[in-house]
Amino acid sequence: MKTVRGLALRLVLLVLNLSLLFLGTIAASSQVGQSPPPRTMAAPAPVQDLHVPNYLKPPISVVAAPAAEVSGIQGLRGQIENALASSTASTKGAVVWIDGFGTVFEENSNLELLPASTQKMFVGAAALKLLGDNHAFSTRVMSKEKVTADGTVDGDLVLVGGGDPSLSRIDVENLAKAVALSGIRTVSGGVLADESHFDRLRAAPGWKDTYVPRQSGALSALAVDQNSYRNDPEFIAEPALANAQLFREMLVAAGVAVTAPAGISPSPHSAGVVIARKDSPPLRDLVGHMLIESDNFFAEMILKEVGFSAGNASTSGGIDVIRRFASSWGLPLGPSADGSGLSQQNRQSAAAQIQWLAWIDQELAGAGFHQMLARSCSTIGTLKRRMCESPAAGRVLAKSGGLPHVATLSGYTTTASGRHVRFTFLLTDAASTKSARLAIDNALGAIAAFAE
């Protein structure tokens, strides 16, 4: 009988202990809400004696899904290969270089393929080196004649475009107000547009007819709001004239009487009086915007400015300058026809892009070029929604590219052990560009998880 009562007592105590344990678990969970907080991925610890660039360390706020560490180069190579095999792309070019190991993966590395918008990375890098990161574009309001004492311009005002891709409607309005503040009350002539800083071609070679205005505003050295505020054929043919008309309206609104209508300046306007001037942000900021947001219009204007620096202010002139520049550094450059990567005539190899990435590490890291690239799973840019559930979240800085049946990505990341990585993926003839992008992201997830 005592044995039975003792057994019953032990059972009661066991149930009581289990109940207390269960209640304790609920209480602990209730202190932080219905579920535990998500794990925050810390910056990878650097390997001994290995420099980890600060620009590649992930922001503290990035949350990445846990993933098994990849060990062994052969294992990593297999994971990259398997990821790319799922891309639906029939033609692939790729190179992955890891500090301390060298080239760990390559496929068709010398095959020249469509680079899409990764073209912008090398145009931007060359422009910064050639023009300087403080280079600015100037838009000027000029008059051949001096302003009279009663505030009259005896002739035309000329709005001289300097190729600024960032010139906005607000900037033009401020220029008009600056003219009024200068004391001008009457313009006996009209407002002329001078777009002679660049050539008058509105598109680049190899562009489809629909690319202007769908992918880029009409190209012109005098552009307002990237020449995207109208899309009718008349505007596309003569955007500078429409911008001069806009400036004339803003002058009138600012209290300046303009007698004649707007027109196009028959010749370049360099001599005379500068009445007002608007300088662009420095080139480093323009290149940063171009790369992070993949801005096609910015890319084309910057490329033409590179050509202008050598006396041929055109798309082809800019390409010629960059080709000579690349040759002087021993850098390869495949067939190129534009700055944005929209052209079907562009071709670059993965091996060539890796050489450019290495050159950028050497020559432009100090200028902050890496921070000009889009970051994976960030708040802005073309990669802001990519790799968010991956070990690569927040740890990829790269230039993406996309055309029909084409997905490309070129840039930098770090492994789980903190090793610096350069990579480029050029996937073409893909049945699904979405699956091709996902394949690239999965490959980078494996690289980011590599722990050796």
pLDDT digits (tens, 9 = 90+) for 70-90: 569 999 999 999 999 999 999
Torsion 273-276-282-287 (CA) sign: negative
Q: What local confidence, expressed as pLDDT, does residue 144 receive?
A: 85
327 lies in a domain?
A: yes
φ and ψ of 289, to 5 deg: -65, -45
267 lies in a domain?
A: yes
Q: What local confidence, expressed as pLDDT, does residue 178 receive?
A: 98
Q: What domain count does the chain have? A: 3
Q: Are 334 and 345 in contact (CB under 8 A)?
A: no
46 lies in a domain?
A: no
Residues 128 and 142 in one domain: no
CB-count exposure of residue 136 (10 Å: 0-12, 13-18, 19+): middle
pLDDT digits (tens, 9 = 90+) for 393-437: 999 999 999 999 999 999 999 999 999 999 999 999 999 999 999
45 lies in a domain?
A: no
Torsion 348-336-280-359 (CA) sign: positive
366 versus 394: the higher-pLDDT residue is 394
Residues 189 and 176 in one domain: yes
Q: What local confidence, expressed as pLDDT, does residue 68 receive?
A: 55
- Could you say which of 240, 255, 280 is where a domain stops? 280
Query: What span, in angstroms and rounded, lies between the C-alpha atoms of 323 and 204?
Result: 17
Which among 444, 393, 448 has a CA at the least distance from the CA of 62? 393
225 lies in a domain?
A: yes
pLDDT band of residue 320 (cuts 50, 70, 90) is very high
**Lowest-pLDDT range, 48-62, 74-88, 126-140, 152-166?**
48-62
Residues 90 and 156 in one domain: no
- Could you say which of 241, 260, 280 is where a domain stops? 280
> Is residue 382 scored above 50 in pLDDT?
yes
Query: What span, in angstroms and rounded, lies between the C-alpha atoms of 156 and 192?
Result: 7
Query: What span, in angstroms and rounded, lies between the C-alpha atoms of 325 and 256?
Result: 47
Residues 254 and 365 in one domain: no
**CATH code for the domain of 382:** 3.40.710.10
Q: What local confidence, expressed as pLDDT, does residue 102 receive?
A: 97
> Is residue 28 scored above 70 in pLDDT?
no
Residues 129 and 152 in one domain: no
The stretch 55-59 carries a mean pLDDT of 51
> Is residue 37 scored above 60 in pLDDT?
no
The count of other CB atoms within 10 Å of the CB of residue 200 is: 15
The count of other CB atoms within 10 Å of the CB of residue 253 is: 12
144 versus 326: the higher-pLDDT residue is 326
Residue 70 DSSP symbol: B
Residues 292 and 410 in one domain: yes
Task: Please report which helix (H) or strand (E) contains residue 75, including its range.
Answer: helix 73-85
The stretch 327-350 carries a mean pLDDT of 98
> Is residue 4 scored above 70 in pLDDT?
no
Residues 314 and 426 in one domain: yes
Q: Are 184 and 147 in contact (CB under 8 A)?
A: yes
31 versus 140: the higher-pLDDT residue is 140
Q: What local confidence, expressed as pLDDT, does residue 69 receive?
A: 57
Which among 6, 57, 32 has a CA at the least distance from the CA of 416? 57
> Is residue 3 scored above 60 in pLDDT?
no
**CATH code for the domain of 150:** 3.50.80.20
244 lies in a domain?
A: yes
Query: What span, in angstroms and rounded, lies between the C-alpha atoms of 93 and 108?
Result: 5
Residues 173 and 258 in one domain: yes
DSSP helix/strand/coil, 334:
coil
E-strand stretches of 5-161 = 89-98, 102-107, 112-113, 138-143, 152-153, 157-160
- Could you say which of 280, 296, 319 is where a domain stops? 280
Tokens 């302003």 locate to 147
User: For the chain, what is the mean pLDDT?
Assistant: 88
Residues 276 and 289 in one domain: no
Residues 91 and 169 in one domain: no
pTM for the complete prediction?
0.85
Q: What local confidence, expressed as pLDDT, does residue 22 receive?
A: 32
Residue 55 DSSP symbol: G
165 lies in a domain?
A: yes
Query: What span, in angstroms and rounded, lies between the C-alpha atoms of 147 and 111?
Result: 61
The segment with the largest mean pLDDT, out of 42-51, 142-151, 197-206, is 197-206
DSSP helix/strand/coil, 386:
coil
> Is residue 9 scored above 70 in pLDDT?
no
Q: What local confidence, expressed as pLDDT, does residue 47 receive?
A: 26
Query: What span, in angstroms and rounded, lies between the C-alpha atoms of 281 and 349?
Result: 33
Residues 431 and 303 in one domain: yes
CB-count exposure of residue 5 (10 Å: 0-12, 13-18, 19+): exposed
Q: Domain range holding 346?
A: 54-133+284-448
Q: What is the DSSP string of 392-429?
A: TTT--EEEEEEETTEEEEEEEEE-TT--EEEEEEEEEE
Q: What residue spans of 106-159 are helical by DSSP H?
A: 119-131
43 lies in a domain?
A: no
Q: What local confidence, expressed as pLDDT, does residue 57 receive?
A: 52
388 versus 57: the higher-pLDDT residue is 388
Residues 262 and 247 in one domain: yes
Q: What percent of the chain has pLDDT over 70?
A: 84
Query: What span, in angstroms and rounded, lies between the C-alpha atoms of 349 and 344?
Result: 15
**Interacting residues of 296 by C-beta distance below 8 A, sequence separation 6+:** 117, 215, 216, 340, 341, 342
